[in-house]
Amino acid sequence: MNTNINRRSFLKTTATASAALAMPVISRAADAGKPALLGGTPAHKGGWTSWPQWREEWEPKMLEVYRSRKWFRLSGPHVPEFEKAWAEMLGAKKALGVASGTTSLIVGLHVMDVDAGDEVIVSPYTFIATYNAILANAALPVFADTDPATLTMDPKSIESRITERTRAIMPVHIYGMPCDMDPINAIAKKHKLAVVEDACQAWLGEYKGRKCGTLGDVGGFSFQESKHIPAGEGGAITSMSEDIIDRCNAYHNCGRSCGNFKGTGSFSRGMNYRMTQFQAMLLLQQFNKLKEQTAIRRANADHLSANLGKIPGITPIRLPENSRPAWHLYPFIYNAEQFNGLARDKFMAALRAEGVPCSSPYREQYYDGLLDEAINSRGYKRLWSADRLKAYRESFKDLKGNKQACETMVAISQNMLLADRSDMDQILEAIRKIQAHSAALAKKA
């Protein structure tokens, strides 16, 4: 099995994959402590909650939009209703609904004045859309290193990457785990840089009492299908500044002036990144579900973290002080040495055989070709010197923390955190079994 399976396809397959493993099992005392791969009984039987979810009670409101014939953002009331409610729930001054998480980040960077030839310091440990949002603004994604203990941007690695072209810092609250924003904001302030938060996986994530997406100048969210509050596609931008959201609104609406942003008096530069009334209504239906499920995910994640740390070779992720993640995935660090050298891929195969789907989503994707394509393009060669682009390409090898993070993390998906406490105990039991039999599993072909 490809261990680098795409996170979205992983989520879609978790329910069915584990159901397939749920063969009727006759309890045999001798098998009780054995891993499934060595002939024992899987620790978890039955599937996991499927995703996305729908509720019958949402249907009248969805039908209302359909029958209203007002589907376009500017013809109906629901996008502004969604924006007001999203801003209130996050404690943001204002929010703007947009077409996707990617477009939320493209717009956020544009309004913070990231322009062709600028540089943005960003976390490499993220979904590729984060890189692309910077490239879409003809800017260069310059990677801070990842702290392998937190999986987020290591604030200590930022300042050495700042050049006279740096315009913004883009922290990513990966898997819904807040970045350590105080030092990041302090560096941004010192060097007069904007902070654009990629909160695409961090709905209701909290850092020191404030929600992700309200901690920098502007934040972007995704409501794509795998997300905790999905609308097929969709996104939002949040800010504590009304003026910033007015500028975002203008840019996402073909450059039409908005509120305090008068632009050129006619059209300014802009795109069509508008949200539809259907997306807004579907999102509005899910606010209570998001709050309830976030509490369940947190309780189950806390239970896992409290117990996983007791298993030699498994380390829960370190979180910033006084923070509450959204847990889009639940990751932990795997140390093969403490498992008799059992390679991570083999560990994950053994865990899947226990009925516990898992993955290791991000690899060192700066070597995957996207950035080579960008820096070898005519445009980038015009915008940067050959020396700068060469040094940029060579600097990827310095991302030692990120390499370690990519090589050692294992994750289960958010839908699994919606199961019962007994299911969490079965995940723990599965890992304990694998640890106890790791020498035999390591020898198995």
Which residues contact ligand PLP (rule: CB under 6 A)?
100-102, 126-127, 129-130, 172, 198, 200-201, 222, 224, 235
Specify the residue, 185 or 224, whose C-beta has the smaller distance to ligand PLP. Answer: 224
Determine contact, residues 376/122, Cβ cutoff 8 Å: no
**What's the closest the beta carbon of residue 230 comes to ligand PLP, in angstroms?**
10
Cβ closest to ligand PLP, residue 21 vs residue 317 = 317
* Cβ-proximal residue to ligand PLP, closest one: 101
- Closest CB to ligand PLP among residues 171, 401: 171
By beta-carbon proximity to ligand PLP, the closer residue of 362 and 392 is: 362
Give the shortest CB-198-to-ligand PLP separation in angstroms. Answer: 5
- Residue nearer to ligand PLP on the CB measure, 227 or 432: 227
Rounded least distance, CB 438 to ligand PLP, Å: 32
Q: Compute the least distance from the CB of residue 202 to ligand PLP, in Å.
A: 8
> Token match 């509720």: residue?
55
Minimal distance, residue 175 CB to ligand PLP, in Å? 9
To ligand PLP, the closest distance from the beta carbon of 216 in angstroms equals 14
- Closer to ligand PLP at the Cβ: 4 or 338? 4
- The Cα–Cα gap between 37 and 379 comes to 52
DSSP state of 76: S
Amino acid making up residue 162: I
Give the nearer residue to ligand PLP in terms of CB position, either 174 or 245.
174
Q: How far is the CB of 227 from ligand PLP (least distance, A)?
A: 7
**Token pair of 339 as six digits:** 């498992």
